[in-house]
Each structure stands twice: as C-alpha cells, then as structure tokens.
C-alpha cells in the first residue's frame, strides 16, 4: 500500500523505509529467496535502505548469501547487493547434517514413476483413478491482462508435459496462479538437466518450491530415478534440495 501511494515518486524506497522505521526496529523475512532480476534489484535496494536506517533484519533462507539468485539472468547486477548483505549481517548455518525429506526417498512406499512401458501404465492408472471418470478440458487463467492456458485441467487436477511448464517464459507469479486452482499436478517427462537447460532448470526449481510450499500433490515421470536426474553445473547445489523435495512430494501416502 505504501508503495502504491508513492508510485509516482522516482525513488520511493527511502520514504517507504522511513515510514517502516517509525513502527518497526526489526523485520523478519521467512524463506528469503530471489527468483528474477527485477525482484533481485528491488530487494537489494530495499535491504540497502533498511541497513542505512538501522533497521535490523532477521531472515531464514535455504541458501547462503553467496548463492542467492544463483544462475539467474543478469545476476552480475545483483552481486554488489550480495556484498552489502554480507557486510551487514551475521550468517548462521542451522544445517543439522540430515535432510529429513531424504529419509522418504529410502522407503519402499515412496511413489515416483520412471518412464518405461510398465511405469507409464502405472502413471495412467493413477491418473485414471484420480480423474474418477472426469474428462480434461482447457483452462484459461488471466494474470495481469495476460492469458495462460492449461491444456489438460479438471476439478483441481492439471496434467502437463515438462515443456509446457518450464520451456515457457513463466515466472513465480505464473506458477503461484496455477497453484491457486490446482490441487494435484501430473508432470511428464522431467529431463536430465545440462548447462544448456539452465533456464528451464531454474524454472523447475521455482515450480517445485511453490508446489512444496503449498503442500500440493505431485505425480511425475522421468527417464531416470530421482537421485539420477542430472543438473547444470551452476545449479548443482541448489538442485539437491529440489530433488529432495521432489522425492517427498511424490512419495506414496
């Protein structure tokens, strides 16, 4: 609301932060993440103002400052803000050494479909059961004047090919809107990722995080098991968490 009131200002952030300062000395961000260069620049400038106005920032994040927006487009523009974050914060690792999501990957009852003739049949059987006789139809979502088309949708169930979701120029906002109307995702043909597919991999990481955070259901196919899906070099560390979440999301309940 404050930003909206100052929308005609050439640089509204200092005024916004000063109004925050009147009411707050400490601001907490949970699950701090950056998914595109526009957000990166805004957040960088916002944190810069918080620091200069002696507003204390506490945040949790799945990555250390050096890995924020790792592999993102035009990330070099954000690097000075990363240095500013490091100069003005103390970083503590709360890693216990054990990712409890991975425990599910080792259980026999986990549910992940590898793409071969038999498991493709299993995938279709799960899909048939979930649909309960309903037929897919086209679903249209409007996002700020743009139209996003889901080709296969019915009653909170959506089926996608990986290319439909991650080869498009979708951002967090698009995935969030899809998740608002979808309870169960069927995603086929998750690929092995390479440096040539880094943008598609970044979108996939973002998508899985949003599905996970919204506690939605996921059924997926790939040519290899979860722990064998390869990564681009730049996103290898971040992708381990994605694979862990993918394993939890697709385990049998």
Alpha carbon distance 199, 196 (integer Å): 8
Do 151 and 208 have their domain in common?
yes
Do 228 and 188 have their domain in common?
yes
Contacts 24+ apart (CB under 8 A), 82-85: 84/44, 84/47, 84/48, 84/51, 85/47
Alpha carbon distance 81, 71 (integer Å): 16
Higher confidence at residue 6 or residue 139?
139
Give the per-residue pLDDT at 109: 36
Do 109 and 202 have their domain in common?
yes
Q: Say if 75 falls within a structural domain.
A: yes
Tokens of 7: 């929308």
Domain that holds residue 234: 100-249
Instruction: Name which of 222, 211, 157, 215 is nearest 188 in CA terms.
Output: 222
Listing DSSP states for 99-119 in one string gives: -HHHHHHTSTT---EESSHHH
Do 168 and 212 have their domain in common?
yes
**82-118 pLDDT tens trace:** 999 999 999 988 766 654 433 433 343 345 667 677 7
Q: Say if 94 falls within a structural domain.
A: no
**193-241 pLDDT tens trace:** 999 999 999 999 999 999 999 988 888 988 888 889 999 999 999 999 9
Give the per-residue pLDDT at 2: 55
Do 84 and 187 have their domain in common?
no
Tokens of 72: 């993102």
Q: Report, as an integer, the average pLDDT of 136-164.
A: 91
How many domains does one find in the chain? 2
Q: Say if 15 falls within a structural domain.
A: yes
Residue 8: is its pLDDT beyond 80? no
Output the average pLDDT for the chain: 84
Tokens of 35: 């998914």
Which residue(s) pair with 149 in the sheet? 140
Q: Which residues contact 165 (CB under 8 A, 6 or more apart)?
A: 175, 187, 203, 204, 207
């Amino acid at each position: 609301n404050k930003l909206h009131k100052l929308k005609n200002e050439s640089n509204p952030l200092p005024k916004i932060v000063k109004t925050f300062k009147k009411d707050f000395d400490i601001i907490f961000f949970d699950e701090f993440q950056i998914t595109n260069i526009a957000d990166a620049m805004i957040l960088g400038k916002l944190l810069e103002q918080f620091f200069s106005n002696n507003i204390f920032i506490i945040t949790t994040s799945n990555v250390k400052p050096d890995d924020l927006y790792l592999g993102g487009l035009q990330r070099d523009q954000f690097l000075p803000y990363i240095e500013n974050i490091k100069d003005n914060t103390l970083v503590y690792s709360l890693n216990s050494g054990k990712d409890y999501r991975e425990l599910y990957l080792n259980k026999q009852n986990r549910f992940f479909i590898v793409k071969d003739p038999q498991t493709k049949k299993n995938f279709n059987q799960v899909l048939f059961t979930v649909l309960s006789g309903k037929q897919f139809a086209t679903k249209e979502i409007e996002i700020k004047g743009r139209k996003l088309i889901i080709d296969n949708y019915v009653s909170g169930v959506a089926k996608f090919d990986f290319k439909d979701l991650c080869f498009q120029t979708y951002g967090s906002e698009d995935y969030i809107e899809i998740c608002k109307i979808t309870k169960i995702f069927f995603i086929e043909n998750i690929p092995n990722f390479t440096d040539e597919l880094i943008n598609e991999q970044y979108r996939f990481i973002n998508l899985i995080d949003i599905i996970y955070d919204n506690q939605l259901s996921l059924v997926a196919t790939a040519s290899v098991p979860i722990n064998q899906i390869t990564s681009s070099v730049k996103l290898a560390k971040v992708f381990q968490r994605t694979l862990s979440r993918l394993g939890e999301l697709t385990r049998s309940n």
